[in-house]
Structure 1
Amino acid sequence: MLKGGSKLLTYATWNEKLPDFNHENPTKGALDVLEWAYGTYGEDLVYACSFGIEGSVLVDLVSQVKPDAQIVFLDTNLHFQETYDVIEAAKKRYPSLRIKLKTPALTLEEQAKKHSDGLWNVDSNLCCTIRKVIPLEEELKGVKAWLSGLRKEQSAARSNTDFVNRDERFKSIKVCPLIHWTWKDIWRYAHKHDLPYNKLHDNGYPSIGCAPCTQAAINADDLRSGRWSGTEKLECGLHETT
């Protein structure tokens, strides 16, 4: 139970009577949302971080609210070296944060034998399910809520994201503190606080996923246009129901 006797907001108790957060402040509501989320869920809140630039910003904000927060990176074993570099930089800057690299049950060699060599080229949805979705399901099992760095501006599919969401995919509460931040807001904060960030951002990669399925953006107005380029795929499966 929460203060005042109100029921803890979970997937099962969702009633859409959500907290009212002010997004017209210096962090556009992000710190208020994080303080509420960690105050409400404590250890039952996990941050699934991709360690792109939004991740660098959100990690910094999280460290201000809960210095020993649980952070999980879905390590598909297919990420760019630059992504692993920024994770190491974050570990050094925030030594109290519990940053975990979660790997899939199948190694790349086992996946190739069971399905196909270079499965991402044959069935990218299945590859994402094996290497991202199932691992996150495992991490969220038994916890009530998770954090994500989604922003409304990122894509049409994400434009309706709220601070607090009922996540049908993972049967959980998904908290998104950065929904009102713009691309300029993100970079302004990162530069102001000299945050470690993925150097691929300097080379035309605004959105960074696995190396085989990510290239530099082909459309300056679409930050995710370098993901699964040449296909109709838009998401890896973690956020499709948002």
Structure 2
Amino acid sequence: MKERLTQLNAVLQGLSLEESLAFVNENLEGEKVFSTSFGIEDQVLTHFLYPLKNDFSFFTLDTGRMFNETYEVFQKTQTKYKGLEIKTYLPNQQDIQEYIDSDGINGFYDSIESRKKCCFVRKVIPLRKALQGASVWVTGLRAEQSQNRESMAFLEWDEDNQLIKFNPLLHYSLEQLETLVNQHTIPLNSLYKKGYLSIGCAPCTRALAEGEDFRAGRWWWENGKKECGLHIHIANNN
């Protein structure tokens, strides 16, 4: 696996976004899925994956605590891209009830442990369900989003989910994404222009102040790495 991914990554280095998506589609077998949270990265990927919608399955995780603006851009996306099915995965109601009973409705503010427990129930468990049977998982991760993402490769082996993770926007800048959005009239979450560059659950996301780090608006009351558990493990190509 390591040798195979190394070879494929070498080819991907010189390809455009459209070319890289087509290349992975042609050279990797099995079910390919794309997860969208309707942020700028995922909206750009949705636009370029749309012509390949018969080869890639689209899905999103609805935690039950999303901004209304996120639902609005979800609707606008399906209106623009006719015939695009985006399957929605919800958390298990019993898991939510048990979390609220033990930690409270907003217990995630009390400790990092409680916040991670909430993320696990609302995001990680539904993600595992969404990825069942998949061989390739397309993500909108970019190197400049956080320090722990700088060492990523285009294609990585995800040990936890036992599949290949594909990060086609790895070396794209925010400015490049904005250019693509404008060129192709891609629907964008209205919160983006209000300083919400990374948009998650409403209680856990705020707008960024000038000069703040890209992830500073997520779980702003915490110190340390700002991850929810979906992408925290370092990939290993063995």
TM-score, with length taken from structure 2: 0.87
Q: Structure 1: which 5+ residue stretches go unaligned?
A: 1-12
The Cα of 1:165 is off from its aligned counterpart by 0.7
Q: How does 1:1-242 map to 2 (within 5 A)?
A: 13-15=1-3, 16-19=5-8, 20-23=10-13, 29-41=16-28, 44-66=31-53, 69-106=56-93, 108-109=96-97, 111-113=99-101, 115-122=103-110, 123-218=114-209, 220-232=211-223, 233-242=225-234
Q: Structure 2: which 5+ residue stretches go unaligned?
A: none
User: Is contact 1:73-1:100 (8 Å) kept?
Assistant: yes
Separation of aligned partners in 1, 2:162 and 2:103: 28
Return closer, same or farther for 1:22/1:72 CA change in 2, 3 Å cut-off.
Answer: closer
Separation of aligned partners in 1, 2:82 and 2:147: 36
Percent identity of paired positions between Structure 1 and Structure 2: 34
SS at match of 2:63: coil
RMSD over aligned CA atoms reads 2.0
Separation of aligned partners in 1, 2:55 and 2:79: 13
Separation of aligned partners in 1, 2:37 and 2:6: 30
TM-score, with length taken from structure 1: 0.86
Aligned length: 227
Separation of aligned partners in 1, 2:47 and 2:29: 18
Residue identity matched to 1:144? S
Residue identity matched to 1:30? L
Q: Deviations over 1:192-218 (max 9, x none)?
A: 111101000111111100001100113
Separation of aligned partners in 2, 1:204 and 1:167: 31
Larger deviation, residues 87-96 vs 50-59 = 87-96
The Cα of 1:183 is off from its aligned counterpart by 0.6
The Cα of 1:43 is off from its aligned counterpart by 6.0
User: Is contact 2:154-2:170 (8 Å) kept?
Assistant: yes
Q: Deviations over 1:75-118 (max 9, x none)?
A: 00111000111111111111222201110112644541354322
- Normalized per residue, the structure richer in helix is 2
Separation of aligned partners in 1, 2:85 and 2:55: 6
Residue identity matched to 1:112? I
Residue identity matched to 1:214? T
The Cα of 1:172 is off from its aligned counterpart by 1.5
Separation of aligned partners in 1, 2:116 and 2:195: 25
